[in-house]
């Protein structure tokens, strides 16, 4: 039907134009205008019909194509193809998930390794700091003990010197008649040296015993880099020799 309308409209256009021209030659402008307008209307009808026809044909073709596609979708081949594609997509997703899980596990392992290394470093640093503080505390304690020992020994020696200086005319020889005690903590030697110093004076011997005990106490603080000197005095007025103990730092004891 649309084809007939289009054909008739196409055929009518030149006929109407010819009629319009004829009327112009006859000086009949009104009829000429009518034929001209009629030709334009025929052209419009032709174009409109053609457009509508093409739209209808397009819809028909789309409907046919859709029907073909729907029919194809119902075939076993298409269903198998869809199932295969879904299986491939699922396998791809599983592979990607596995890859991500492996990457995550790798990152976690690296983070754990770094954390353990950091923890070990922190523990080592803490242990080193602890040992350093212990060493510092120990060194400080030893230094304080040495300092106290030096002060005690010096105090005892000063007291001993003052006592013998007041008791008799004692001259201490620190160079010519001094001799070295081999071990600074030899208690028996300290005792024997003080025993030699006893001269029969009860008061002097009692004081000597007190200083001997001080020397024994002091000997426990004396380390291997100390030495004790036993100094022989000149003969006193009562005819006895007296011995004077002192300690000096900075001299290593012989092995």
Q: Are 228 and 222 in contact (CB under 8 A)?
A: yes
List C-alpha distances in Å: 57 to 120, 129, 193: 81, 92, 138
Statement: residue 85 has pLDDT above 80: yes
**50 burial level (CB within 10 Å; 0-12, 13-18, 19+):** middle
Higher pLDDT: 80 or 242? It is 80
94-129: pLDDT as tens digits:
999 999 999 999 999 999 999 999 998 989 998 999
126-152: pLDDT as tens digits:
899 998 898 888 888 878 877 776 776
Which pLDDT value is given to residue 158? Answer: 61
Under 8 Å CB-to-CB from 226, ≥6 apart: which residues? Answer: 184, 247, 248, 249, 251, 253
In angstroms, the CA 116 to CA 120 distance is 6
**Domain residue spans of the chain:** 2-73, 145-249
228-240: pLDDT as tens digits:
333 333 333 444 3
Of the candidates 157, 176, 166, which has an alpha carbon nearest to the alpha carbon of residue 234? Answer: 176
Statement: residue 60 has pLDDT above 60: yes
**Two tokens, residue 230:** 């036993």
Of the candidates 58, 44, 61, which has an alpha carbon nearest to the alpha carbon of residue 9? Answer: 44
For tokens 């954390």, name the residue.
115
Which pLDDT value is given to residue 144? Answer: 82
| Number of other residues whose CB lies within 10 A of the CB of residue 85 | 10
């Amino acid at each position: 039907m649309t084809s007939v309308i289009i054909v008739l409209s196409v055929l009518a256009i030149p006929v109407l134009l010819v009629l319009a021209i004829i009327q112009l030659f006859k000086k009949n402008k009104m009829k000429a205008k009518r034929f001209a307008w009629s030709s334009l209307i025929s052209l419009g009808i032709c174009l409109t019909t053609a457009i509508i026809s093409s739209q209808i044909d397009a819809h028909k073709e789309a409907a046919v194509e859709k029907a073909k596609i729907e029919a194809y979708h119902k075939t076993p081949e298409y269903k198998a193809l869809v199932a295969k594609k879904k299986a491939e997509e699922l396998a791809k997703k599983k592979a990607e998930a596995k890859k991500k899980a492996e990457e995550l596990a790798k990152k976690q392992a690296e983070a754990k390794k770094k954390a353990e290394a950091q923890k070990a470093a922190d523990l080592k640093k803490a242990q080193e700091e602890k040992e350093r503080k212990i060493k510092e505390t120990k060194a400080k304690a030893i230094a304080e003990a040495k300092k106290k020992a030096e002060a005690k020994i010096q105090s005892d020696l000063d007291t001993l010197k003052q006592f013998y200086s007041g008791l008799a005319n004692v001259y201490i020889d620190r160079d010519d008649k001094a001799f070295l005690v081999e071990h600074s903590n030899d208690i028996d030697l300290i005792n024997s040296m003080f025993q030699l110093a006893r001269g029969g004076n009860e008061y002097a011997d009692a004081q000597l015993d007190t200083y001997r005990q001080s020397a024994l106490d002091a000997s426990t603080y004396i380390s291997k880099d100390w030495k004790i000197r036993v100094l022989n005095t000149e003969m006193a007025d009562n005819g006895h020799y007296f011995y004077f103990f002192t300690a000096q730092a900075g001299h290593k004891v012989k092995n």
